[in-house]
Amino acid sequence: MPIIRDPYQTYMGQQLDQGMISDVRTRLTQYMAGMNDDIGGNLANTEDAEISHYLSKENQDVYGIDSRDWKLTDAAFFAHPMVIYDKSQLHENSVGGFDNFKVVADMRAVVDKDRTGKFKIINHAAYAAISARAVIMQWWLAHGTIGPLRSMPVALPIFADLIGDMLGAIKMELDDSQRLRVWAGIWYYMAHLESNLIQLKPSDKFDIIKFLSQHMKVSADYVSQVLDSAISGYEDSTLKLQREEFGTVKHWFKLAPIACESVRLEGAMKDIGAFFGMIGRAYMDPLKVETMGIAFDHPPTFLALVYSAANNFTAKASDLSKTVARPIYRDGVSQLTRGISRKLQ
């Protein structure tokens, strides 16, 4: 599927105020381009600043704006980190990722002056969660999207289990439920590839089947059956699959009943808003439906949510936190949190 590089390219992201997003992106692009001209970015290194604008230990490509960035004080708040780049300069690097871009996060709600006038983090959990999300986005794009999937494979079965559990209200038969989990796992894997299902090479199909069989503990034959069923959906003219939908939740939504061979699921998959409502319940946050909707299409966002849940930055009572905490995932989640923590300031 076409890789979605930015949260605002997801189906949910496209439902947000596009005028506001365009204005913020323009402002950020101009601001970041002016950094070397001393417009404001160097304020992060002044003696009275105890926190850095730069959120990654590895580079200066992940930036958090706050009220020290005085030229942006009137810019609209943006809830999801934004990828800023010049299309003419964006090019693929030697590991299949991209160079010459930055990820910018809005920290204005979590960084402010204290009573002494010094800038402080006023919400450490939210600051850590936002930082992790922005850093993961940069790492995911810079290092080739398939690399992060293979280095943190636990995210895929967590995603598959979570989607299966949140749609459990449909009360499907046991086999339908398992097929739904496998289809969700296939979807998560495909979000790391530029190919659509019908464009998969035999080697790609082999890799998907092997990966899911290994990490979801299901037979290769079973994964192959679900994958072949999903591919057959492209031949169903009644689905009216649109090219612009490829890679978005709307695409998954239409193919799900065919991939799962479920009449009950076909009846349930009529309202995409209701679907977002179901998966949104997995996460406890004022923007839970919006954030989970983005995470469905955008693996870096989902990785960040898993990281936040593992570190108790989100409510332990959430379905996401409960899924992440399952004993079967303990070692994989530990590997994921260590890998991400090493990248943070």
Has residue 40 been placed in a domain? Answer: yes
Is residue 149 over pLDDT 80?
A: yes
Give every CB contact of residue 12 below 8 A, 6+ residues apart in sequence. 249, 276, 290, 293, 294, 296, 297
Q: What is the mean pLDDT of residues 170-177?
A: 60
Residues 219 and 325 in one domain: yes
Residues 203 and 111 in one domain: no
Has residue 176 been placed in a domain? Answer: yes
Has residue 46 been placed in a domain? Answer: yes
Confidence of residue 50 (pLDDT cuts 50, 70, 90): low
Strands (E), 41-85: 62-65, 82-85
Is residue 241 over pLDDT 80?
A: no
Boundaries of domain holding 335: 147-341
Among 124, 144, 164, the domain-final residue is 144
Question: What's the pLDDT score for residue 21?
Answer: 95
Residues 15 and 156 in one domain: no
Pick the more confident residue, 208 or 117.
Answer: 208
Question: What's the pLDDT score for residue 247?
Answer: 64
Q: How far apart, in Å, do the first and last CA atoms of the chain sit? A: 33
Pick the more confident residue, 250 or 336.
Answer: 336
Could you give the 3-state DSSP secondary structure of residue 63? Answer: strand
Residues 47 and 14 in one domain: yes
Residues 160 and 287 in one domain: yes
Question: What's the pLDDT score for residue 2?
Answer: 63
Q: What is the mean pLDDT of residues 95-107?
A: 81
Has residue 2 been placed in a domain? Answer: no
C-beta atoms surrounding 215 within 10 Å: 18
Would you mind telling me the total number of residues written for the chain in this entry?
Answer: 345
Question: What's the pLDDT score for residue 173?
Answer: 53
Asked if 55 and 105 touch (Cβ cutoff 8 Å), the reply is yes
Residues 83 and 215 in one domain: no
Asked if 164 and 98 touch (Cβ cutoff 8 Å), the reply is no
Residues 313 and 187 in one domain: yes
Has residue 224 been placed in a domain? Answer: yes
Residues 194 and 110 in one domain: no
Among 121, 144, 167, the domain-final residue is 144
Is residue 308 over pLDDT 90?
A: yes
Residue 252: name the closest of 189, 331, 312, 344 by CA. Answer: 189
Q: 111-113 and 98-99: which strand pairing?
A: unpaired
Percent of the chain with pLDDT over 90: 46
Question: What's the pLDDT score for residue 48?
Answer: 43
Is residue 175 over pLDDT 80?
A: no
Q: What is the mean pLDDT of residues 62-77?
A: 90
Count of domains forming the chain: 2
Confidence of residue 200 (pLDDT cuts 50, 70, 90): confident
What pTM did the predictor assign?
A: 0.90
Among 116, 144, 172, the domain-final residue is 144
Has residue 190 been placed in a domain? Answer: yes
For residues 172 and 263, what is the distance between their CA atoms, to the nearest angstrom?
9
Residues 157 and 252 in one domain: yes
Residue 266: name the closest of 176, 327, 164 by CA. Answer: 176
For residues 17 and 317, what is the distance between their CA atoms, to the nearest angstrom?
31
Residues 54 and 188 in one domain: no
Is residue 41 over pLDDT 90?
A: no
Range among 30-34, 233-237, 266-270 rated most confident: 30-34
Is residue 57 over pLDDT 60?
A: yes
- State the average pLDDT for the chain: 85
Has residue 1 been placed in a domain? Answer: no
Percent of the chain with pLDDT over 70: 85
Question: What's the pLDDT score for residue 97?
Answer: 65
Residues 211 and 126 in one domain: no
Has residue 139 been placed in a domain? Answer: yes
Residues 316 and 329 in one domain: yes
Pick the more confident residue, 3 or 161.
Answer: 161
